[in-house]
Amino acid sequence: MGNPTHFSLEVPKRAHQLLRDLYEQLSDSEGTRLPLKATFLLSVSMPIVILPIERILNYKRKPADVHMNDAILNGRLADAVDRAIDLHAKVHTAKFFTGSWQYATLEKGSGFPNLAAVGLPENIATHLDSPQALEDARNLSANRFCKILRNALAHGGVLYLDQHGRSCSGAPVRRFAFVSTDSPKKPTKLYFLRIKMVDYRAFLQRWVDWLNEEAMEEILAEDLGLEAPDAEAVTISEEAAEATAK
């Protein structure tokens, strides 16, 4: 593959190809072995999630900025991204959403805890265990959901968690928590999105399929060699997905 014609479409597609081809060759996070599957999944997801937001959505909404503007390359795709990552519509209506996310918030009060040192606070973890956390995630605006995920990935706001969704040093990684503030300058609240590794992998598949589907104009598809998503190929059974996450 050469230089991308449409960076925000092709690079996520290439990154996801790496995920499909290489994920099963990595070691599990057991014993003394490094948690390479978790790290690889997280690393590959950065361009998949961030690029369409940074180079399509942001330029679509701020057309005066042009220095890295992929929005002009495919108007249909840019419009679709803008509609899907809606400022007000609930994220569960978006094509890229999967219903396994959990959401919680933490007020600053006298100060935020240092999550790098203490990990996921137990009161937040307990709330994330509740059915309400699933509903709260579904009812986030698509824009808020994507901002939390984008900010966490871009600024290192990610926690590795065990199978119970807790920070536990040395335990196999089975979940992620994505953490973002409500404001970059004077934050008053932390936002938490938690998800199992297996479900995060499924979300990335859905995200890439969504981008490809919205970009399927005849000329672009021919120029870039895009193919319609193969439902049989992209469907991962729960049993198989659980096995790959271990």
Closest CA to 153 of 92, 200, 100, 199: 200
- pLDDT at position 25 is 85
pLDDT in tens, 185-214: 899 999 999 999 999 999 999 999 998 888
Amino acid at 195: I
Count of all residues that appear for the chain in the document: 246
Amino acid at 136: D
State in Å, rounded, how far the first CA of the chain is from the last one. Answer: 31
- pLDDT at position 215 is 77
Reply yes or no on whether the pLDDT at 220 is more than 50. no
- pLDDT at position 28 is 64
- pLDDT at position 32 is 44
Reply yes or no on whether the pLDDT at 111 is more than 80. yes
Top-confidence residue, 127 or 171: 127
Top-confidence residue, 177 or 15: 177
Top-confidence residue, 219 or 172: 172
Q: What is the pTM of this model?
A: 0.83
- pLDDT at position 170 is 84
Token pair of 81 as six digits? 């991204």
